[in-house]
Chains A and B, each alone.
Chain A
């Protein structure tokens, strides 16, 4: 079946460096993508979203890039901080199924 998945299960970065978390999706009909951050013991927290008619969107220290040609989504975190340590999920809104589908997640560890 069609699903959203992540390339790397774990990622370690030095504090102050930039982080890039990647995601592959397979449903070409999806038109809305979301990145969530989940800290231990908490529910997922919305970070940033992007619609399929865009290829880039910027927030505060975060940028999401969408490449529809290769069905790839990435989250860039600038000047990574210890508070960024968490599991990051990309999620896809499937218009045909009318719900958000999550991938398995990437665990980001920031080394002080």
Chain B
């Protein structure tokens, strides 16, 4: 399968714990996005990378969230000191940016904070 891969698919954690998610984009794609989605809502932008550079981080994202894409390939999203409000689906998408954004999404990581 050469699509966007996310791991794990599901994560259950206790409040206050740290969690890390991984995204492997389509190999030739230079842009990688992280979105968050809650039930009944559209995906909400969190941050994105062009190659290894993080170009933007949403103002809605607290300092507990950090993302990396060290070699311009896979990316990780870490949430420190998780809160119940962090419970959501975390989606990763990638694209070969040519102007306009035809994003290819992974299946997401469903996070539940107890």
Binding site for B on A (CB under 8 A): 31-32, 34, 36, 41-46, 49, 51, 89, 91, 93, 97-105
* Interface SS, A side: strand
The 4 closest A-B pairs by CB, nearest first: A43-B105, A102-B42, A32-B100, A100-B101
Contact present for B42 and A43 (CB under 8 Å): no
- Report B15 CB to chain A, min CB distance, Å: 25
| Chain B 69-92 interface 0/1 with A at a Cβ cutoff of 8 Å (1 = within) | 000000000000000000000010
Nearest-CB residue, chain B, relative to A102: B42
Would you call B45 an interface residue if the criterion is a C-beta within 8 Å of the partner chain's C-beta atoms? yes
A103 touching B104, Cβ below 8 Å: no
B107 touches A46 (CB 8 A): no
**A-contacting residues, B33-78, CB 8 Å:** 33, 35, 40-45, 48, 55-56
Interface of B is mostly: loop
Chain B nearest Cβ from A27, distance in angstroms: 14
Q: How distant is B28 from chain A, measured CB to nearest CB, in Å?
A: 16
Check B55 against A43 for contact (C-beta < 8 Å): no
Known contacts A102-B42, A104-B42; A51/B91 CB under 8 A: no
